[in-house]
Amino acid sequence: MSVEAIPGGKRRIDRVLDPRFVAGIDRLALKELRKRREDAEAEEEGISYLRRMLQGRIDILRAELLRRTTGSNGAGDVGDLVAGLPRILGDRGASSFNAIPRIRMPLPDGQHRRRLERLVSDETIARLPDLSVEELSRAVELLSREEERVSADRRAVQRVVDALRGELARRYRDGSANVAELLE
């Protein structure tokens, strides 16, 4: 399911993670710097959404494994699991602080949409009552590995976003960029 960044590739993640994307950012025109920041932020939003979807599936499967291994009901009765979904999928609080609040829900594009479609079309959740503990464990393991790869991609993209935001902040701080231009 994983999609690796391809040097010289045409996808947004390929462009954002290409070292040339941030090379010489101190010499970029302000308009180009902002465009690159927007591209990197859009990539981070898409990959974060995919990561959240993976984490939700993993949480559901782990809860079912726990339910079964602690002797709660049989494999065929998932009523307790369904009743517990708000707790299982509930927001545990923000994991990191971001000074810029994100209100919009990103629409997955390209690669993230395809990965999400494969994830959602997987029948593991639909067949939950029929799966053995071993099958559930294997599914959790596979999804966890995918989540680790997606998280690594996300951290790499976040480093790019940070570099671009840092360069913009430096320009505003030293006066080489004018904040008033943002309002025009």
Reduce the DSSP state of residue 126 to 3 states and report it.
coil
The pLDDT value recorded for residue 184 is 56
Cβ burial of 21 (10 Å; 0-12, 13-18, 19+) is: middle
**End-to-end Cα, the chain, rounded Å:** 43
Question: What is the Cα–Cα distance from 163 to 166, expressed in whole angstroms?
Answer: 5
The pLDDT value recorded for residue 126 is 75
The pLDDT value recorded for residue 33 is 95
Q: Within 10 Å of residue 53's Cβ, how many Cβ atoms?
A: 18
| pLDDT tens figures, 95-151 | 554 554 444 455 555 555 666 666 666 677 778 888 899 999 999 998 999 899 999
Of residues 156 and 107, more confidently modeled: 156
The pLDDT value recorded for residue 115 is 65
Nearest C-alpha neighbor of 115 from the set 150, 89, 158: 150
Spatial neighbors of 68 by CB under 8 A, at least 6 apart, are: 75, 133, 136
Per-residue confidence at 2, pLDDT binned at 50, 70, 90? very low
B/e letters for 116-144, b = 16+ CB within 10 Å, e = fewer, are: beebeeeebeeebeebeeeebeebbeebe
| pLDDT tens figures, 49-95 | 888 888 988 998 998 888 888 876 555 566 777 777 777 777 655 45
Phi and psi angles of residue 164, each rounded to the nearest 5 degrees, phi first: -70, -45
The pLDDT value recorded for residue 103 is 44
CA distances for 34 relative to 25, 55, 59, 117, 141, angstroms: 10, 31, 37, 31, 39
Of residues 89 and 171, more confidently modeled: 171
Token reading at 125: 């959740």
The pLDDT value recorded for residue 49 is 87
Structural domain spans, the chain: 12-86+121-183
